[in-house]
Amino acid sequence: MMLEMEHLSVRFCQGQQAVTAVHDFNLKMDEGEVVGIVGESGSGKSVTAHTLMGLLRRSQVEVSGSIRFQGVDLLTLSRQALREYQGKELSIIFQEPMTSLNPTMTIGAQVEESLRIHTRLGREERRRRALEAMALAGLSNPQALYRCYPHQLSGGMRQRVMIAAALVLRPRLLLADEPTTALDVTIQAQILDTLRDINRKEGTAILFISHDLGVVKSLCQRVVVMRRGVIVESGSVEQVFYHPQQGYTKALIAARPARKKLMGGVEHG
Amino acid sequence: MVKTLAKRMGLLLLTLLLVTVLAFLAFSIIPGDPTSSILGVDATPEQVAVLREQLGLDLPIWQRYWNWLSQAFAGDLGTSYNFRMPVGQLMAPKMSATLLLAALSFVLIVVISIPLGILSARHAGGWLDRVVTVADQVTMSIPNFVVGIALTYLFGLVLRWFEPGSYTSATRDLAEQLRYLIFPALAVALPRSAMTVKMLRGSILSEMGQDYIRTAYSKGNSQSSVLWRHVLRNAMIPVVTFLAMAIADIVAGSIVVEQVFAVPGLGQLLISSIGNRDYPVVQAIVVLVAAVVVVCNFAADLLYRVMDPRLKGR
Amino acid sequence: MSGVKKRINWYFAAGGVLTTLTVAYILLGMVWTPYDPGALSAADRGAPPSLAHPFGCDHMGRDIFSRTLQGAGTTLTIALAVLVIGCVAGLVLGALCGYYGGVVDGAVMRLCDAVAAFPSILLALVVIAVIGPGKYNIIAALGVLFIPSFARLVRGEFVKYRDRDFVQAARLMGVSHGRIIFVHILPNTWPVLLSGLAIGFNNAVLAEASMSYLGIGVSPQEASLGQMLSEAQSYMLTTPWTMFFPALVVVVLILGVSLLGEGLRERMGDGL
């Protein structure tokens, strides 16, 4: 097993109050697997991903359970040791491609940033690998884009830049936190294709988080349904979609605007 | 880019011209004739007429403006009524003291406020941040000249680190000048530094909350490399603009603070010229400050464009 | 969230207490001073603070407490008058420019930008050079110079609101422009205007104090804080209280209002 999350619970502490965002979450993933987490907004799916990625401020959250990645419990690592995984073994792309890139840094610098942090490669080699990653992420003219700034790119292109930056070190696991929610439907389909390609070519495992069942169904092999911080149901895509066991999952499937989705109704999480 | 700059430049020159017109008009419509303050009340009408002709006061106003402007462009800012010498010659030695003071103040502001702002933002909510925030709010509320008086008292009279009033334009040695000017410069710089600290802190904190910071952390950046490589570049954009715009206020602050420390600069000249109704001098100083303002705004604009790629080519 | 709430209270409370204290102090000074602020007393020359003279006496034996009472009153009167002129004229100008836009708006705003870019103390000095010193001239000079900053502030708000749905709706319903400006849009600008007023007040106090320090302020017969400080400077080694108390009054006056303004901005939601 590449990833084993066991009894993961996350509580946000604000002064005297504490809110449980995720409770007793369990998930196992193999190398190269594509797994989806589905749930409505506030179900704890993003918090799970951010916890796995080590992005939550340790002073503000209480985390219990374990996240074993390639045999190492990430939750027991020091901040510094955790950084060795971030961007190298584990990468993440976010929902907001418009704001997730640094406005004053060139695309090239942002794509190769993980290389600069984690390797001792020279400038030319970094550039070569960045261009390669950009091509892998489906950017058609990496050479020209290398010197551009984010504001010169469309939302879809920025999301591809994010993907390129996440993939530049060929991580074992890519977390995709609603990566297509903010994009329109055609672009959404293209990005999903790109992710599928990457999974096939590079063998990168993908943990795909979405509120959109259709998207998860088309991309993932297994799916976890979450509600209010708890796993409601999990299993293979076929099992969950065609033979849902839980009322909530059924309701979720029923509530989906079947087929009309493609007509352009973009939902927001 | 070049086109925009040319346009901005043109606009700024136009502003400057407008200032000269306004200044000229203002000093031309003042009731009372400069001749009476030069010659005294018991001058004969003939004397007055001769002087009026000498000063060019008999010409129509637009012609006087044109003469003044063309001469100003040639470097001749007119003759002081009071000192009977060319304004340029009168101003030159004073200008160096004021400009030195303003420049030193600017350097101090940068040196004081940028580290403090960063430190305060880094430890936001902690005790250090609280101390800085409170000190900041108080410092901001102290007028320049009051800071100056307090510094004179503490460092000049009690600790005797410098001798108040010992600065003269004859003090040739730059090091010696700077050693004296550091205190008035502090007086000019402290309130403005407080504002800058506050602004930088706010700017850093608001950048820290941006989505791209999360991205930076996800790549394995440490806290300090997120700060230095990502946050500061973006957080400095508004601060640099603010600083460039503040130069005009720094010059004004210097003019007031000069009085506190008896620095014979433009401030003293301005105050005495206002008292003596020596309008060519006042006018020249106003135009000089206007030029500083205009150039600084232009520089601020330029810097803003250089620092923020989103504005490049616009 | 609880942390933020605490801070609002803190700024507001501190600002409120300081401002209330200074205003009470100044109001007291307007009806009563322990001594005649101008009265000389040879016996009390340079007297240190005591029960009879809580702030001590200056080199001419004048009671500092009485003089700061009077001086702070003068400063406050001037600052308030300046604010009234600047705010009312700026409000009208900014509202009209922001609401109607067009060429006039462009020209007026250019002019405002130019004036606002100048240090106001310097401009005020020049205006005083032209029209002569005195309390009313200072009010006029500073008042006029404060118009642009208010005009820009109000204009910005009006531009923000003029195309909002509620304004459009009012227009469609046939509400007159004047009513839209004053009844529909103006109330929305209060939060921004109020914090602008706090900043403006402090700038006015600062300008008045600086000018009277430079000796280009109110007439020398009337006590003013700046002038007291200027005189105290020559004697501050021997009688530091002549410097300390007027300075304290100026600082507390400005600090109180700036804390209030800060509290206001926090409440409005942008911490900057």
Q: Domain residues of chain B, as ranges?
A: 32-76, 88-311
Q: What's the pLDDT band for B22 if we cut at 50, 70, 90?
A: confident
End-to-end CA distance of chain B: 6
Q: Please, which chains are in contact with B (at least 3 CB pairs closer than 8 A)?
A: A, C
pLDDT-above-90 percentage for chain A: 63
Q: What's the pLDDT band for C9 if we cut at 50, 70, 90?
A: low
Of A91, A101, A104, the CB nearest to B308: A104
What integer pLDDT is reported at residue B158 of this predicted model? 85
Q: Do B259 and C214 touch (CB under 8 A)?
A: yes
Give the range with max mean pLDDT: B193-197, B262-266, C239-243.
B193-197
Greater confidence (C272 vs C94) lies with C94
pLDDT-above-90 percentage for chain B: 31
Q: Do C271 and B153 touch (CB under 8 A)?
A: no
Residue of A nearest to B307 (CA): A104
What integer pLDDT is reported at residue A121 of this predicted model? 92
- Residues of chain A with C-beta less than 8 angstroms from the C-beta of B227: none
- Residues of chain C with C-beta less than 8 angstroms from the C-beta of B150: 247
Q: What's the pLDDT band for B30 if we cut at 50, 70, 90?
A: low
B285/B292 Cα distance (integer angstroms): 11
- Residues of chain A with C-beta less than 8 angstroms from the C-beta of B219: 86-87, 91, 113-114, 117, 165
What integer pLDDT is reported at residue A173 of this predicted model? 95
**What average pLDDT does the segment A218-229 reach?**
91
CATH number belonging to domain B88-311: 1.10.3720.10
Q: What's the pLDDT band for C214 if we cut at 50, 70, 90?
A: confident
Report chain B residues touching chain A, CB-CB < 8 A.
210-212, 214-222, 225, 230, 233-234, 237, 307-310, 312
How much is the mean pLDDT over chain A? Answer: 88
State the alpha helices, DSSP H only, in chain C.
Answer: 2-31, 64-100, 102-117, 120-131, 135-161, 165-172, 177-179, 186-213, 225-232, 241-268
DSSP C185: I
List pLDDT tens digits, range A1-34: 899 999 999 998 877 778 889 999 999 999 999 9
Cα of B224 to nearest chain C Cα, Å: 23
Q: Does C241 touch chain B (CB under 8 A)?
A: no
pLDDT-above-70 percentage for chain C: 95
Residue of A nearest to B231 (CA): A102
Tokens of C252: 């507390």
- Residues of chain A with C-beta less than 8 angstroms from the C-beta of B234: 102-104
Q: Which residues 17-56 on chain B approach chain C with CB closer than 8 angstroms?
A: 18-19, 23, 26-27, 30
What integer pLDDT is reported at residue A194 of this predicted model? 92
Of B222, B233, B307, the CB nearest to A83: B222
Of B30, B150, B248, the CB nearest to C119: B248
List pLDDT tens digits, range A49-99: 999 999 988 778 889 999 999 999 999 999 899 999 999 999 999 988 889
What integer pLDDT is reported at residue B156 of this predicted model? 87
- Residues of chain C with C-beta less than 8 angstroms from the C-beta of B255: 121-122
List pLDDT tens digits, range B72-104: 777 777 788 788 888 888 888 888 888 899 999
A237/A224 Cα distance (integer angstroms): 9
What integer pLDDT is reported at residue C4 of this predicted model? 47
Pairing of strands A173-177, A90-93: parallel
Residue B270 has pLDDT above 50, yes or no: yes
Q: Please, which chains are in contact with A (at least 3 CB pairs closer than 8 A)?
A: B, C
Of B218, B230, B310, the CB nearest to A55: B218
- Residues of chain C with C-beta less than 8 angstroms from the C-beta of A14: 1-2
Residue of B nearest to C253 (CA): B141
What integer pLDDT is reported at residue B312 of this predicted model? 65
**What average pLDDT does the segment B181-188 reach?**
94
Domains and CATH numbers, chain C: 70-269 (1.10.3720.10)
Q: What's the pLDDT band for A254 if we cut at 50, 70, 90?
A: confident
Q: Do C272 and B144 touch (CB under 8 A)?
A: no
Q: Please, which chains are in contact with C (at least 3 CB pairs closer than 8 A)?
A: A, B
A106/C260 Cα distance (integer angstroms): 42
Give kind and range of the element (H or E) at residue A9: strand A3-14
Amino acid symbol at B125: G
Cα of C168 to nearest chain A Cα, Å: 29
- For residue A106, with 0-12 CB atoms within 10 Å meaning exposed, 13-18 middle and 19 or more buried, which class applies? middle
- Residues of chain A with C-beta less than 8 angstroms from the C-beta of C4: none
- Residues of chain A with C-beta less than 8 angstroms from the C-beta of C2: 14-15
